[in-house]
Structure 1
Amino acid sequence: MRGSKKRPRSTLVVALALIAGLGATVPAHADDPAYPFRDPTLSVDRRVDDLLDRLTLDEKISLLHQYQPAIPRLGIQPFRTGTEALHGVAWLGETTVFPQAIGLASSWDPALMERVGSAVGDEARGFQQERPEGWGLNLWAPVVNLLRDPRWGRNEEGYSEDPALTGALSTAYGEGLTGGDPDHLKTAPTLKHYLANNNEYHRTTTSSDLRPRVAKEYDEAAFKPAIEADAATGVMSSYNLVNGRPNTVNPDLDDVVRDWSSYDLLNVTDAFAPGNLPGDQQYFPSVVEGDAAAIKAGIDSFTDNNADSSVTTGAVKSALDKGLLKEADVDEAAGHILSVRVRLGEFDPGGGTYGAIDKSVINSPAHQKLAREAATEGAVLLKNQAHTLPLKKSDKDVAVVGPLADTLYTDWYSGSLPYAVTPAEGIAAKLGTDVATSEGVDRIALKNTATGKYITTGDALLKESAETSTAQTQFDVFDWGGGVVTLRSADNGKYVGYNWSGFANDQAQPGGWFVQQQFKLEEQSDGTYLLRYAGYETEESWWGNPVYVGPTGADGTLGLVTKEQAAHYTKDVVRSGVDAAVAAVKGKDSAVVVVGSNPSINGREAHDRTDMSLAPAQEALVRAVRKANPNTVVVVENSYPTTLGALQQDVPALLWTSHAGQETGNALADLLYGDANPSGRLTQTWYRSESDLPSILDYDIIKSDRTYQYFKGQALYPFGHGLSYTSFRYGDLRRTADGYEVKVTNTGSRAGDEVVQLYTHQRVSRDKQPLKQLKAFQRVSLKPGRTKTVHLKLRTSDLAHWDVTRSKWTVEKGTYDVLVGSSSADIRSRATWQVAGETIPARDLTRTTRAENFDDYDGTRLVDESKERGTAVAAASDRAWLKFTDTRLGSGATEFSARAAGAAGTVEIRLGSPTGTLVGTAAFGGTSSPYTYETVTADLSRATKGRTDVYLVLKGAGLRLSTFSLR
């Protein structure tokens, strides 16, 4: 089956249907195996065509919603798209919980990723067999959005800031989920979220400016490998806009993504995104026009209004009535969906190849073992001064302290933990003895200065009632940074949260879509504190004022009040967390401090983080423990790069792990005590400061020098970094027929894995090129003293970049550096490669040129040329400009012509610089619609012939330019 914009229909099947009278008639049995669509010996295309021919129009329309109903007359069962499977099956109950996606990726191990994907696919099958009508096999994973900014709230869901690494790992995970045979799918994975989706701030209304080079070389390059390898069966469109157009109606879903695939793809919308088109985005007048445009753009399945499909089906029917859609459009979308259902074995006898998998696979011993292996491989040794690690097992008098020392937190896309091995439990099991523990958090009581009464827990809502401090008035305060804390009751060990009626201590962990357990203790000038509720998922409360805590009833029951009405509390510290931790570590053989993040707070879906620093209370804890016990090592357990500040210098050993699932503690113990050798590598740059980053809304990695590819500063830890307990020597880098090879020797005393990374750099280019660019990598296992020749594939075509002058991939002639090492900054061997490519000719602006194909810019935005397709450039300031480098003016251009729309203004044509020689000015009177274009011209008789840089200076904010020429 070939992927295409229009599915080929089998004329033979249609003819047979007519001759036999099959059509929509019902045979003797609805599940009659004589139906061609139930015959596994036929091609997928023929089976899909047969089934389509049997469906009524209403039945076909019913397939276009997430919840597809049963069709009893044909024996067809309900089908649901969208089972979350980011790092295990989520939201269906207890299941094997693997490390977060960022942790899995830090293994740099495609083989491991495929095995994890296979295990997750098995468990999805197990759940689906238990409840086929509600638990589907269309999985929404993996997330392949690139991690261009570590402040992105969903950083833990992605794999890397690099498209090659992301592509390789997502392909491996997808192949595990599918089973490796696209004709017989174990599950149907969907790549999230297409495209350029790296901010949660106003995510439904912000537009990501994606110039052609960034789109082709970066964002699309992460999605293409898994689709091209048939390791994914579709993509989910993202909430955001790209170049002014909502991704729900992005024509690239059809024009680009389907062209990558050799099979039909099932493209879905994100949840409630169709409603955003006439809603937040105000892009269409109603859902009728919006849904029609989405189908034409390449959407097949609408995730909207939960299980209520009536809005979607009603909109599609109305669109057909209005002529916005044809039945052939519905057939296309329905056919894509049915292709996946056929390949899942739904219509095969016994459910097909994987029909026998049952729930016994869920959290099986083999999967538990795999979870431990994945948690081990994904941890990264950041620092190991004077061989502080591994610790000695003979030193059994150990303390494990910190807010994450004896707790495992789960994230929004985590399954329910079947069991939890905490760091303290894992170390205790490793040593065969108890370890001292302390969370290192303050225990406080809050007393209203006006009433003299403490906030008190009870059987119902929190009140101000007690006049003396007891366990019912005391709370453990966890500082997660950004001023956000959580309060855990000392009475029952449950977290305090808002439940829409008041405040109760009834939650085992902070979590939920709205994390209602977040607070801020705001110190006042008189030394008292206001308690501010912060359980919303944006910068400010989504319901406005009031957000402060105070008594709202005569009995002292707490509720939300305005700042002016807020209670002023004294904060009585009943127990110092630092003092308790220091007491626990004093005199111990060693101390392990486990700090980091809560994955539901300060960064998650719908909430970007404002900074990347460790919480102040946690930083103070580390300093105090280190002072009390010099034999201190630090484990950072979080979901994103952290600016460690002075701690980077103060502590001798740092080990990073993601929130790594049920086997976190065992994996950490294996690593800390040397039963496993650290081998994980960072998949994104760890910056020293937020000042190293531009705005989170700036998507142009080339111009803003983002990621290791373009970042010119000194990273705290570079992309690809990770230490080992052994050492490796690299030999000379040698060219082979299909790439390069290098000998790698384990020169240490321990067996270990090295991740050999191959980078290239183009010395001279017409265009700005990456400082380094990952092209290949391989994880190798070596015993002490052993050597292995590592082969790394590198083709000439791998050196291509997108040439905006001709809108094509090109490999330039010249010298390329080929670099191999253990990180992007630790290069061990290098070679040069003389490539017989092409020389990009001077720009020929006599041809119609798209304005978006500039070389540089200032003060502009990329916008939608029309609602259907195309990109234009709009002036965002009164003197914006576009640069077109190395333009041949020939014998001298005489006229400038351009298509303009939007606000009135002028286009100046200048040579050499934005303030260079003015050779023409085109005046534009403006149009009533930003999509109504008019031709504007300017006389260029003053232009001189030759080669020069041409600048178009746009004066007039809102002026749009689509195409132009100089003739």
Structure 2
Amino acid sequence: MRYGVWLLGLAFLSCARLDFRDSSLPSDQRADLLLQELTLEEKVSLMMDVSKPVERLGIKPYNWWNEALHGVARAGLATVFPQPIGMAASFDDSLVYKVFTAVSDEARAKNTYYVQHDSYKRYQGLTMWTPTVNIYRDPRWGRGIETYGEDPYLTSKMGVMVVKGLQGESDGKYDKLYACAKHFAVHSGPEWNRHSFDVENLPLRDLYETYLPAFKALVQDAGVKEVMCAYNRFEGEPCCGSNRLLTQILRKEWGFDGIILSDCWAINDFFDEKGHRTHKDAPSAASAAVLSGTDLECGSTYETLVEAARKKQIDEKVIDKSVKRLLKARFDLGEMDNPDKVSWTKIPFSVVASAAHDSLALRMARESMTLLMNKNQALPLKRGGLTVAVMGPNAKDSVMMWGNYNGVPSHTVTILEGIRSALGKDDKLIYEQGCPWVGDEVLESVFSECKSEGRPGFTARYWNNVNHEGKVDVETRVMTPFNFCTSGATVFAPGVNLTDFSATYNATYVPKASGEIVLDVYSYGKGRLLINQKEVMKFHNVHGGNKKSCALPVEAGKKYDIELQFEYLQSDAQLNFDLGFKQKVNVARSVQAVRNADVVVFVGGISPSLEGEEMGVDLPGFKRGDRTSIELPEVQRELLAALHRAGKKVILVNCSGSPIGLVPETETCEAILQAWYPGQQGGKAVAEVLFGDYNPAGRLPVTFYRNTDQLPDFEDYNMKGRTYRFMTEKPLFPFGYGLSYTTFKYGTATFNAQTIGSDDNLTVTVPVSNVGSRDGEEVVQVYLNKVGDEEGPVKTLKAFKRVLVPAGKTANVRITLSKKDLEWWNETTHSIQFCPGKYQVWIGGSSDEKDLSKYAITLK
């Protein structure tokens, strides 16, 4: 029976007493009424991300786990916006709000569709586990790509708008969605030891001044409904069992009464021999987590709460507090009620991947483009008889552009495609990949030539068992080289189990030319590869991922049926697959191939397949998703140097979610454009900047260091020497930096007062003149530091505004800093508050002092 019909039927039952099914009652009261009817076992079953149905009461199943990092993720079709680190580069929080309003529309529409089909699986619910507002303290951290940068103020402003866009306004009865602030709170790598690492001896000032502000802003300014605790320990306690973080700070100091949930399987780390080992077993770990405030577990350790309660390790009344929060949330979202009564279910499915959202993705991609270098006005390129060579590993890689925690767009404009479309009728294009991201071999993939059932791509069939048994549970298509990995709990396809699954992939390849192709399989699991029903490769990897390759002689025009079988074994499953003609990187040959080009656009950098969450990648410069070196990989540096020696004008388009040490490239290249992972319209945005159809105004949300010698130890969370706020050395490119195709000149700023009282705001007005020949946007930045505070930040961002200034015009930019913006660390009270004293206000176009004007004010 459909759960919705069941629930409606029960609602018609006549009953003299109040009933939780009565939607006219307040959600808080309904939660109390339902709680009274649940058994201990039923309560506990509702405290895990896969919440089971309570059929006797008509409560349908609910899966709390959904993702929307930069678009609805991991549930098929969705608009894919730029990665958050790229959105942060826009310095446009109002646009971030519009983006996540669009994301929440798509999420609601997709949920309505799933409910109509009685589907309640992971990535189909209304609770979105985003944004990530951890401070990007070290550029080696792989998950920094999910954040909004290294600055607490910028992260706070962006994060607040993400939450407001996702959660929307209440319709008067029901909430639109729930957002989740993660990962609370002192958490930013390394990835390889996150399940056992302890952040110890952190100065109290760093905690409150750097690591907590964004979370506090999301709780108190945005009303975020959920907070996710982190994997690591803080001061000896696992974060998901930390009385300091969860009970004292989050619940008591900040007054948060929403849902606290664990990162996935973080509770297991309490007692796992490879984890923290702070608790002896599962019941004690589960009890400790709930007692400290963690209401919902992503995982299954909470199943042992029944045993713990019966052994008096935890009082059932404590469990009731958590369950009530969860029930109230489900009532507030309308998830327990007839969908027809919930206004949000009226959002049509047509908003998903709509043309309007595609345009919004393009606008955000444009605003994220950050021009770092432009020697002798090498950019913009001039059309008309121009021969452009496009090179590099990221030139035609659509998957790279999606970032991580992503959906799948209806179409992706690659950078190669964007440049090709931007050329004039008299211009020419040469494409030569030249090199991979890392290593000395390049695969000229023929994946796009594979077809199944007359259509491009592979047919993928999945069974939610490991033996390919019974009816196929999910059938879909794979249009790009396989890059599947369940690290970070990413399923191979929507509806497929995270564990205990099997798959078969089929396609036919008809070579256009004879030769020898290479079939590459990188896997963590078991399987085999068949060509024309004959096994050519077998793999069985139980100790992490391993790569296997086999060569296959092929004849032009002959048909080759390919079947790849895969079975889950344990831990994180992984399957990468591609095929093509492989050859060694030949720098001289690649340079010769572009000899007739007037300009070379080298689209390099790295990829989300190299940097990200706890990945199975160990290559030169990379370890488990983190980086051990921040320079551009050696093979790319060599090719760029060779192009420079050959006299080529080289434009580097760098795609990455992290700062790259581009010191040699400042010599070998004429211009550098930081494109991040720019989403589905990124190729068009890049091309518009290259050809001057769009004037870039992105600014760096992270410091670009020269090399790792400028970095403290990765595992040291002390902020001394880190980020622009505490760094004393000169970086390659500073926080807040970015170039334009026009020139801005700042006049003398005026203030509403030079002495500011504790109840006053500070209003700054600064004239910004565009003295160039074209319209452009400038990001006006306001920094503050306290005179005489030797332990504090050199300067710290307190306000910003992105403004359009027409050519030849002056804009009087008015920015107000509230009392809260003026607060500073008080060493006596060990708190952030309004602190009288002398301060310096810095105003300009980046954090570099040469780009700033300094003014004195007094707080009293």
Letter in 2 for 1:291: A
**Cα pair 1:729 1:745 within 8 Å, conserved:** yes
Q: Are 2:227 and 1:235 equivalent residues in the alignment?
A: yes
Aligned counterpart, 1:324: 313
Residue 364 (structure 2) aligns with: 374
CA displacement at 1:439 relative to structure 2: 4.0
> 2:826·2:835 contact (CA, 8 Å) conserved in 1?
no
> Secondary structure of 2:267's match?
helix
Residues in 1 aligned to 2:23 and 2:628: alpha-carbon distance in whole angstroms? 54
**Structure 1 residues 290-689: aligned runs within 5 Å:** 290-305=285-300, 311-313=301-303, 315-349=304-338, 350-408=340-398, 409=400, 410-431=402-423, 433=425, 435-441=428-434, 478-480=436-438, 487=443, 508-513=481-486, 577-606=586-615, 607=624, 608-628=626-646, 630-689=648-707
Kept after mapping to 2: 8 A contact 1:114/1:175 = yes
Counterpart Cα distance in 1 of 2:803 and 2:411:
32
- 1:198 partner letter: S
1:804 Cα deviation (Å)? Answer: 4.8
- The equivalent of 1:65 in structure 2 is 48
* Structure 1 gap segments, 5+ residues each: 1-25, 306-310, 443-477, 516-530, 553-571, 837-967
User: Residues 358, 770 of structure 1: CA spacing in aligned structure 2 closer, same or farther, 3 A cutoff?
Assistant: same
C-alpha change, 1:174 and 1:631, in structure 2 (3 Å) is same
Displacement, 1:685? 0.5
Q: What SS class does the counterpart of residue 798 from structure 1 fall into?
A: coil
SS of 1:53's equivalent in the other structure is: helix
Take 1:770 and 1:172, find their aligned partners in 2: how far apart are those partners? 26
1:424 counterpart SS class: helix
Partner of 1:933: none
Q: CA RMSD in A?
A: 3.4
Tell me which amino acid in the other structure corresponds to 1:431.
L
- For 1:429 and 1:783, the matched residues in 2 are separated by 28
1:759 has 2:783 as partner: yes
| Alignment correspondent of 1:204 | 195
CA distance in 1 between partners of 2:437 and 2:360 (Å)? 33
State the 1:319 CA deviation: 1.5
| 1:591 alignment partner AA | V
Distance 1:784 1:181, change over 3 A: farther
Alpha-carbon spacing, 1:286–1:423, altered in 2? closer, same or farther (3 Å): same
Q: Is the 8 A contact 2:520 2:549 kept in 1?
A: no
Identify the residue that residue 114 of structure 2 maps to in structure 1: 131
Alignment partner for residue 133 of structure 2, among 144, 148, 155? 144
* Match of residue 898 from structure 1: none
* Rounded Cα–Cα distance in structure 1 between residues aligned with 2:836 and 2:524: 54
Cα deviations by residue, 1:165-187 (Å, 9 ceiling, x for unpaired): 10110110111100144974221
C-alpha distance in 1, partners of 2:648/2:14?
Answer: 73
- Which whole-Å deviations, capped at 9, do the CAs of 1:703-756 have from their partners, x for residues lacking one? x32111110000100000011111212222222262222122222221211111
Tell me the alpha carbon deviations over residues 293-329 of structure 1, each in whole angstroms, 9 at most, x when there is no partner. 1011111111114xxxxx523x111121122222221
In structure 1, what residue type is equivalent to 2:635?
A
Q: Which residue is 1:272 aligned to?
A: 265
Deviation at 1:261, TM superposition (A): 6.0
TM-aligned CA deviation for residue 27 of structure 1: 11
Task: Report SS of the residue matched to 1:83.
Answer: coil
Q: 3-state SS of the aligned residue for 1:336?
A: helix
* Deviation digits for residues 814-869 of structure 1 (CA, Å, limit 9, x no counterpart): 21000111110043333101222xxxxxxxxxxxxxxxxxxxxxxxxxxxxxxxxx
Deviation, 1:359, is: 2.5
Aligned partner of 2:168 in structure 1 is 179
Contact 2:663–2:732 (CA under 8 A) maintained in structure 1:
no
Contact 1:380 1:680 in 2 (8 A): yes
Aligned residue for 2:142, secondary structure, equals coil
1:59-138 matches, within 5 Å, as 59-132=42-115, 133-134=120-121, 135-138=124-127
Distance 1:371 1:87, change over 3 A: same
Look up the equivalent residue of 1:512 and give its one-letter code.
C
**TM-aligned CA distance change 1:89 to 1:734, over 3 Å:** same
Greater Cα offset, 255-264 or 582-591: 255-264
Q: Which of 783, 793, 796 does residue 816 from structure 2 map onto?
A: 793
Q: Deviations along 1:554-612, whole A, 9 cap, x unmatched?
A: xxxxxxxxxxxxxxxxxx99575534543443333432111111211155434211011
- In 2, the alpha carbon distance for the partners of 1:659 and 1:202 equals 26
The aligned residue for residue 720 of structure 1 is 736
Partners of 1:707 and 1:632 in 2: CA distance: 30
CA distance in 2, matches of 1:31, 1:418: 43
| Corresponding position of 1:195 | 185
Q: Which residue of 2 aligns with 1:782?
A: 805
Contact 1:161 1:683 in 2 (8 A): yes
Q: Is the 8 A contact 2:524 2:544 kept in 1?
A: no
State the alpha-carbon separation in 1 of the partners of residues 844 and 378 from structure 2. Answer: 24
Q: Residue 709 in 1 paired to residue 725 in 2?
A: yes
Residue 479 (structure 1) shift: 3.8
The change in CA–CA distance for 1:788 and 1:186 in structure 2 (over 3 A counts) is same
Q: State the TM-score, normalizing by the size of structure 2.
A: 0.78
Say if 1:108 and 1:681, in contact at 8 Å, map to a contact too.
Answer: yes
Distance 1:86 1:196 in 2: 20
Do the aligned residues in 2 keep the contact of 1:146 with 1:161 (CA within 8 Å)?
Answer: yes
1:789–1:38 CA distance, 2 compared to 1 (3 A): farther
**Separation in structure 2 between the aligned mates of residue 140 and residue 586 of structure 1, nearest angstrom:** 49
Does the 8 Å CA contact 2:21/2:30 hold for their aligned counterparts?
Answer: yes
Q: Structure 1 pair 400/717, CA: closer, same or farther in 2 (3 Å)?
A: same
Partner of 2:856: 832
Counterpart of 2:306 in structure 1: which amino acid?
Answer: K
Q: Is the 8 A contact 1:230 1:261 kept in 2?
A: no
Give the equivalent residue in structure 2 for 1:217.
209
The Cα shift of 1:137 comes to: 0.8
Change beyond 3 A, Cα 1:363–1:723: same
Question: Residues 532 and 355 from structure 1, CA distance in 2 versus in 1: closer, same or farther, beyond 3 angstroms?
Answer: closer
Q: 1:775 to 1:798 in 2, by over 3 A?
A: same
Aligned counterpart in structure 1 of residue 277 of structure 2, from 282, 306, 318: 282
In structure 2, do the counterparts of structure 1 residues 274 and 435 end up closer, same or farther at CA, with 3 Å as the change threshold?
farther
Q: Distance in 1 between matches of 2:343 and 2:98?
A: 18
Mapped to 2, the partners of 1:41 and 1:263 lie a distance apart of 26
Q: 1:657 to 1:231 in 2, by over 3 A?
A: farther
* Secondary structure of 2:330's aligned partner: helix
Shift of 1:58: 3.1
Distance in 1 between the 2:192 and 2:614 partners? 10
SS of match in other structure, 1:129: helix
AA aligned to 1:292 is S
Larger gyration radius, structure 1 or structure 2:
1
CA pair 143-536 structure 1, distance change in 2 beyond 3 A: farther
Check whether the contact 2:650–2:668 (CA below 8 A) recurs between aligned residues.
Answer: no
CA 1:751–1:430 in 2, change beyond 3 Å: closer, same or farther? same
2:598–2:648 CA contact under 8 A, matched in 1 = no
Q: Check the 8 A contact 2:441/2:583 in 1, yes or no.
A: no
Between 70-79 and 711-720, the greater mean CA deviation after superposition? 70-79
User: Residue 619 of structure 2 corresponds to which residue in structure 1?
Assistant: none
Q: Distance in 2 between matches of 1:38 and 1:262?
A: 29
* Matched position secondary structure for 2:207: helix
Residue 255 of structure 1 pairs with residue 245 of structure 2: no
